[in-house]
Amino acid sequence: MKKILALHTGGTISMSANDLGEVSTNKENPLLDSRFIDDNIELTNEAVLNKPSEHITPEDMLVIQKRVQQAESEDYDGIVITHGTDTLEETAYFLDLTLPNHLPIVLTGAMRSSNEIGSDGVYNFQSAILTAAADESTDKGVLVVMNDEIHTARYVTKTHTTNVDTFRTPTFGPIGLVGKRGIHYFQELIQQTVMPIDKLKHNVYLLKAYAGMPASLLECLDKADTNGLVIEGLGAGNMPLETVEAIKHLLADQIPVVMVSRCYNGVAEPIYDYPGGGIDLERMGVTFCQGLNGPKARIKLLIGISAGLKGQTLRDYISNAVS
Ligand code: ASP
């Protein structure tokens, strides 16, 4: 018998649509009454939050993290977290970076609300429970299960506004599948260092570069109050010429600046050696973060800074996507 704890936080999976198709949060999460029809799995439901995921803050992520940590000493074999899909990847990655992952931890959500035709919520919830209960799911890091696919929290991203097949790992695909007769894994995840944190720092920002981006967007950051900045740069990690001086000023004020790519696929690497090119930016002190998208690099920078990392130690933590 496997004991699975389901922590519910809200999102479309727990919402309902009215006659006009307008979707909103229910007062009480309907998933709290879920039963699992399997003699080998005992399911316990618990509400941690009941919010759309756009309202989830890093403080909420810490609340979820602390509840998961507590559950590790409560004799559960696996944990499922239901969550809105809009920021699911950020909460999943937050947990992945800060929890030792002794237990399988699986996040899921839905693209169609609980009373819509073809609602994917109950199905995804069931797939997540089966994944959390599978022995093979231990030591895989935090997982995201949607639409029969198992993705790592580290690299999964929401790619479509409404389609049920929205969660993808662009660079190398899912690490496993939920089959009709069980869970199948095809890839191993490289282990990473766990960064335990108790409190969060604030004011770590994310900006996206574009052709003609003015320096003023960077200059308007209050330097005294900015703890870090992630930029989704152009291509492999390059910036418009106009922004280079402003980036130098941030670095001179000891504000960590982290570069990822605004491209949907691939990794950011310093390749071009001209003003604003990646090599130029790296020479200035910009840290390249491989393989993470902007929102996840921001979560990692926030956690590194909140853990008290500084200077080269922070740069080493950020630059290696797997440790
Ligand atoms: N807006 C919803 C949320 O993130 C979307 C969803 O759950 O699919 O809460």
Please tell me the distance between residue 57's alpha carbon and the centre of ligand 1 in angstroms: 14
Which atom of ligand 1 is nearest to 86's Cα? 4
pLDDT number for residue 190: 80
Q: What are phi and psi of 166, to 5 degrees?
A: -100, -30
Q: What is the DSSP letter of 221?
A: S
**To test ligand 1's pocket by mutation, which of 86, 113, 160, 167 has the most ligand atoms within 8 angstroms of CB?**
86
pLDDT number for residue 146: 98
User: Which residue's CA is the closest to the ligand 1 atom numbered 3?
Assistant: 84
pLDDT number for residue 323: 43
**To test ligand 1's pocket by mutation, which of 22, 23, 53 has the most ligand atoms within 8 angstroms of CB?**
53
Please tell me the distance between residue 146's alpha carbon and the centre of ligand 1 in angstroms: 13
Please tell me the distance between residue 110's alpha carbon and the centre of ligand 1 in angstroms: 8
Q: Over the chain (323 residues), what is each successive 10-residue block's mean pLDDT? A: 97 97 95 88 97 98 97 94 98 96 93 97 97 95 97 97 97 96 91 90 98 98 97 98 98 98 96 98 97 96 97 94 49
pLDDT number for residue 303: 98
Which residues, at least 6 apart from 126, have a Cβ–Cβ distance to it below 8 Å? 36
Q: Does residue 166 contact residue 146 with C-beta atoms inside 8 Å?
A: yes
